Structure 1
């Protein structure tokens, strides 16, 4: 158990990690933000979504494995992850000549599973949570002698992640606030180590998904607290309990931890994709989500770490549709009307006259709630935003159509 007397990682260890990573990890770009006009600026994005293997995780994984002895590497390494740590370990192990076995949840996104295998690791699908995989990985380590590479709770991993902050200070020397996502706490711990040693006046803010936010209650309790349940689309930060090593770093070095909703995360994915041309996974956008939603008022200049870009294309499709609906640009609704010739054409004509673009139409003639001669028509319509959507729906209702909204596009 880690006590209050436990030594924190030092900035010299972060410097050593940076030297170890030279020639392996990318110095990822810093990009000015777009589409964040409501946020006091300037705001910059540290694009770890463009890192090798698609996330910052490769930094800590490489540093940890690079510090193993030849004998330890010969026994191989084992890890547990929902995706990004898995890929980071796979890439780092291949570079350093160690065989890697990775345990992933059975529901892990298929592209992350395929990528991990593609980088050379052996993948085992176990259980439904990262905690299930951690238990399996530890059992494998005990049975085979493979070295367990924890996704966040180790000083070498924290030191490796802290190299992100070193690059931030070089790329944006005037930074006043650094914002990053928090799962188990490895990234924010490393950033805190570097920031408070090099620029103690810089604020370090962590962000969690509110449906998987173990850090705030842990900080209140003064010790790591396990959530009884947690679920979020941000699978990369879906962690039910802070680490024993990371917790004191967050407690002592991080200025605040805030939370964002699933809706906030979805909107941020869309803004970064549409306005900034950056593909970022849900866990990677929580910092941007905190600024866009207003739950965090950061002192600018602000640097937001976009921690990963590994997203399942099917999830991306759903997030885009959901985000468009939430912004009033995509409507799903049903209209109950008479099942007689000309009614559907008249309704579609009204939608077209008001500038709506019908994506799809489906008739539902046989329903217990229908009167004889009635039909329900389900429509998906593209609009130009909230005002246009409200105008279109109002026109349908004024014309006598009984409109019922479906999903998140309700007005």
Structure 2
């Protein structure tokens, strides 16, 4: 099989539209599942409520969710002189690079962070005083080095026996999208998480999942719609604007993904029936699993070095698919069996843009995305030029946009 058409020469300016500020949803609706749902099915458009999603899905569909959980990654620290410094935790560096392990670290750790008001922080530690279980606690932060727009921050805390996850829960704030331009609230603490969030590590919510309620899940079960979960910890790069005129100048951020053997077997058993991704993060993870398995088949020796477990930005366009989807997923299962492992741990930089052919998924549940964003490129890859018709319809029919906005079901 040959490689896909190369999107490197695409201009991001061809993927734009006028988004009035008043169409950006500033707050969540009182009820998760009362958002609008725009159904795109084979070129037709239909307006629904999100509660209608189970009835709109193909009867034999498998819905795949991203069960990542947003961490309170923003810390407002005080300097000895009284001034404030904001730290935005991006990813762990030491002693662990794995988010799951880093969250369980006690005593001290090093994270890559964005620093707000950093020019006024010359040297020395800053700190946050807070409480855990009604007992006083303190988090200290010291800058080790700065480069490429971020800083390496050494954190230490008391009580030292408390894991870093609990420190962030008690001392941190939810990192709401910057375009909301407001502080997080107690409402956000509940509503900027999906009801099925399980594994802490994201700094942004997988927002397509915010519409799902217990009632919607009950209706999915009643209709025998199968469900499955995987994990992609959404990074701050999800808000990174495309500044390059052409996509070749835009580096995709790497994000950690994980999928267990039970999911791989479920995907294999379900094919060729429809597999629907809930959110762009679930979609990118599912398609990345194909490319991970494809590399194991094509270059089995890379399994020994770990090189097999990273999907690069341009891999599909440079290499092209070499095997079928079942063969790729079976290669991952065979690897897990050989190594006695249960879960594929990897990273992905996969950019999905027009020219990409989908190898795992058949549809997508997703919100309405920013102009000139990689998420809009993904939508255009899935439904082609009709993305403009979908977005024009949403604008003309009072749909709410972005993270707390309304939803769409895209079935090309």
TM-score range, shorter chain: under 0.3
With structure 1 as the length reference, what TM-score do the two structures score? Answer: 0.23
Q: Which has the larger radius of gyration?
A: 1
With structure 2 as the length reference, what TM-score do the two structures score? Answer: 0.23
Higher strand share: 2
Higher helix share: 1
